[in-house]
Amino acid sequence: MATLKTGLRGGPEARPRRRPPATVTIVRRATFAAAHVLRREEWDEARNRAVFGACAGDHGHNYVLEVAVSGVPEPATGMVVNLKDLDRLMRQAVIEEVDHRHLNRDVAWLEGVIPTAENLALAFWHRLDERLPEGTLARVRLVESENNSVEVTR
Ligand code: NI
């Protein structure tokens, strides 16, 4: 068991040591619905089916996007980030671009990308990271179905 030095009786332990402030991570969630197909056009149907299974045909998902931002709460507001601002950013940079779209053909910045959950989460990460204060984006989690999700971290 660890011995905790309370420093209550004075002595060297009583002097406060400078430590970096604890960082806090706050998570905002948003949802969207989109269609996609996982296939390579240069592969024949059999190879696409062998690699991508049922996802080689058109289908859609109700996705959940979770964005985690880390930092030290601002003393004036008690906030790491204003959730109103983070929500607006997520909507403008990602949700409004992909909601009710076909990810293979409707989204310019996904052109040439196989829209797996991994690739989508990475693309979302880059769009959010370049719009947030440097180093504050901690995690992007994309839930594609009740059985699978992916996480991108720094
Ligand atoms: Ni799918």
Q: Where are the domains of the chain?
A: 23-153
Is residue 9 pLDDT above 90, yes or no?
Answer: no
Q: Averaged over 109-128, what is the pLDDT? A: 98
E strands, 3-58, in order: 24-36
Q: Do 139 and 65 contact (CB within 8 A), yes or no? A: no
Strand partners, 69: 26, 137
What is the sign, positive or negative, of the torsion defined by CA atoms of 139, 52, 102, 113? positive
pLDDT at residue 19, rounded to an integer: 87
Is residue 113 pLDDT above 80, yes or no?
Answer: yes
**Mean pLDDT in the chain?**
93
Q: Using a pLDDT cut of 70, give the percent of the chain over it.
A: 90
Candidates 64, 61, 72, 77; CA nearest to 21 is: 72
Cα 63 to ligand 1 centroid, rounded to whole Å: 10
Using CA atoms, how far residue 114 sits from 9, 38, 122, 123, in Å, is 63, 6, 12, 11
111 in catalytic set:
no
Per residue in 69-109, pLDDT tens? 999 999 999 999 999 999 999 999 999 999 999 999 999 99
Cα 30 from Cα 94, distance rounded (Å): 10
Cα 115 to ligand 1 centroid, rounded to whole Å: 8
Per residue in 87-97, pLDDT tens? 999 999 999 99
Confidence of residue 20 (pLDDT cuts 50, 70, 90): confident
Strand partners, 70: 25
What is the sign, positive or negative, of the torsion defined by CA atoms of 100, 104, 109, 113? positive
61 in catalytic set:
no
Query: CATH for 23-153, among 3.30.390.10, 1.10.3720.10, 3.30.479.10, 3.40.50.300?
Result: 3.30.479.10
Cα 11 from Cα 137, distance rounded (Å): 41
- pTM, 2 dp: 0.87
pLDDT at residue 45, rounded to an integer: 94
41 in catalytic set:
no
Confidence of residue 21 (pLDDT cuts 50, 70, 90): confident
